[in-house]
Amino acid sequence: MTKEVNNIIESLNPLERKVLPLLKENKTILRIVADSNLSETEVMRALQLLENKDIIKTNTKEREVIVLDENGVIYSENKLPERRLLELLKSKELTYQELLEKAKKVDLNNEEIQVSIGILKGKAAINFSGKNISIAHNGKSFFEKEMLEERLLDKLKLNLINIKDLSSEEKFALDNLRKRKQIVKIEKIKDKEIVLTELGNKLVNLKLESNMIETLTPEIIKKGTWKGKKFRRYDIKTNVPRVYGAKRHFVNDARNYIKRIWLDLGFKEMTGDIVQTSFWNFDALFVPQDHPAREMQDTFFVEGKKPIENKEIIPRVKAVHENGWTTGSKGWQYKWNIKDAEKLVLRTHTTPLSAKTLANLKKSDLPAKFFAVGKNFRNEALDNSHLFELIQVEGIVVDENANLRNLVGYLKEFFKKMGFEKIRVRPSFFPYTEVSAEVDVYDPIQKKWMEIAGAGIFRPEVTKPLLGFECPVLAWGIGLERTIMNYYNIKDIRELYKNDLKQLKEIKAFIR
């Protein structure tokens, strides 16, 4: 025996040593499971390892078999509906109404009754005479022999049947049964054929040593029980099952990474409820009460109302909307209604958190920086670039010396940390910022600029009623999903949340 063959023998694990002798005869996997007292998983693992060592070859053959479906299992035990209907007519002819009443007593529903009558008529097994139904001469013969469909069900009750093994009569019966509801179905199954290789034929007749040490433990070393025994060789080239450790969902992984960026830049996190009053979601941000975004087609409203907690701010927000208050603005020139402001909504952005934060700040707290990463809800049509439930990355900087250059600096710093090399900031318009800007990043794979964030400096109509004094507030809102799609090479935004197990196991961690 060559050294190479001897090394292979010494590398066989206990499962392989138990299964290999059973392969002298051509056996199915189920037979090997029964003879080895191993589980099917253990047998499959042993066969895979033996094939890796070129001891066996496995060939997969696919075949089509007939299987009893849900109703087929019932009918194989309780007889076909047409047989039960025929037996009701055995003693005497019945009117149609009498037949219906008797059929229901033997658990035949209306659909089965109608189908059975049609089948028996097709087999010339029953006669109709006026209102009466009786057994025809051909029907009487079915009490002496089985129908073709019954014979096929009897065979299927005992075993699976290959379609190619059917006789012409059985094929006819199969066609009839397949036209009916859930009696039989066709399934494709794969059979594994196990063949010993030249090496396998040599090894299968050898007496394989089983008293080998698999694992070296402190106890074996202390007691010296390893002496005079062989250690099993380990084949480090053999494929082994991949182990997937527990980990966060990759979107949450990216979410935590983003939080860390802002925390490292000295920001404090803002949190809050996803259900907000319209006051904080719209009014405090200088969005007029007749704005289209506040209609049902754009916003998810929640039943009920809630009083606004901060009573001091209400008159200031009301005055800003109606006449501009002391901001130098003319406002929206309409009669502001507190009842509309008390309506509850699923927040459409995380900016209500910024509004509430500003309302609780004092001059002595400045300068201050805050961020939020939270879910928002918009009444959007779901497609490859839009979600109705999305995560927004919100940020504000409250500083009397803050300016547009600082805003651009924060945004560029963030997106560089997210892995984007090319970033541009261009003028835009948003209702509650002035100046306003859009942030684009360059996608090197698609070779195009991608709009990814909105930003600006809050208008005095927003900041002054909330703070009680004028102060520049830098603000931005970033779509988390669009920001991370490029990293994961995902083109359809819906794939981020499809919860495909293979994707969740194999997707890379968010590391920049």
C-alpha to C-alpha distance for 95 and 511, rounded to whole angstroms: 80
| Average pLDDT, rounded, for the chain | 89
Distance between terminal CA atoms of the chain? 54
User: Is CATH 3.20.20.10 what the domain over 68-185 is classified as, yes or no?
Assistant: no
Could you tell me if 155 and 184 are in contact, meaning their C-beta atoms sit under 8 angstroms apart?
no
The per-residue pLDDT for range 443-472, each reduced to its tens digit, is: 887 788 888 899 999 999 999 999 999 999
Could you tell me if 58 and 192 are in contact, meaning their C-beta atoms sit under 8 angstroms apart?
yes
Per-residue pLDDT of the chain (512 residues; tens, 9 = 90+): 688 878 888 888 888 988 988 888 767 788 888 888 899 899 998 998 898 888 889 888 888 889 999 998 998 888 898 888 888 888 888 888 888 888 888 888 888 888 888 898 888 888 888 888 888 888 888 888 889 998 999 888 888 888 888 899 989 988 999 999 999 999 888 878 888 888 888 888 887 776 788 788 898 888 888 888 888 887 777 677 788 888 899 999 999 999 999 999 999 999 999 999 999 999 999 999 998 888 876 789 999 999 998 899 999 999 999 999 999 999 999 999 999 999 999 999 999 999 999 999 999 999 999 999 999 998 887 887 788 899 999 999 999 999 999 999 999 999 999 988 899 999 999 888 999 999 999 888 778 888 889 999 999 999 999 999 999 999 999 999 989 988 888 888 889 998 888 898 888 888 86
Judge if pTM exceeds 0.75.
no
Could you tell me if 455 and 323 are in contact, meaning their C-beta atoms sit under 8 angstroms apart?
no
If you search the block for the tokens 């001897």, which residue do you land on? 6
For 252-506, which CATH class?
A: alpha beta
DSSP, collapsed to helix, strand or coil, labels residue 416 as helix
Contacts from 52-56 at CB under 8 Å and sequence distance 24+?
Answer: 52/235, 52/238, 52/239, 53/8, 53/11, 53/12, 53/199, 53/235, 53/238, 54/197, 54/199, 55/8, 55/20, 55/196, 55/197, 55/199, 55/200, 55/203, 56/23, 56/194, 56/195, 56/196, 56/197, 56/200
C-alpha to C-alpha distance for 122 and 328, rounded to whole angstroms: 91
Q: Could you tell me how far CA 92 lies from the centroid of its own chain? A: 59
Per-domain residue ranges of the chain:
3-54+197-231, 68-185, 252-506
C-alpha to C-alpha distance for 351 and 347, rounded to whole angstroms: 9
Contacts from 20-24 at CB under 8 Å and sequence distance 24+?
Answer: 20/46, 20/50, 20/55, 20/200, 20/203, 20/204, 20/208, 21/204, 21/208, 23/56, 23/194, 23/196, 23/200, 23/204, 24/204, 24/205
pLDDT of residue 60: 83
pLDDT of residue 245: 84
CA atoms within 13 A on the CB side of 471: 22
pLDDT of residue 203: 86
Could you tell me if 283 and 321 are in contact, meaning their C-beta atoms sit under 8 angstroms apart?
yes
Could you tell me if 10 and 232 are in contact, meaning their C-beta atoms sit under 8 angstroms apart?
yes
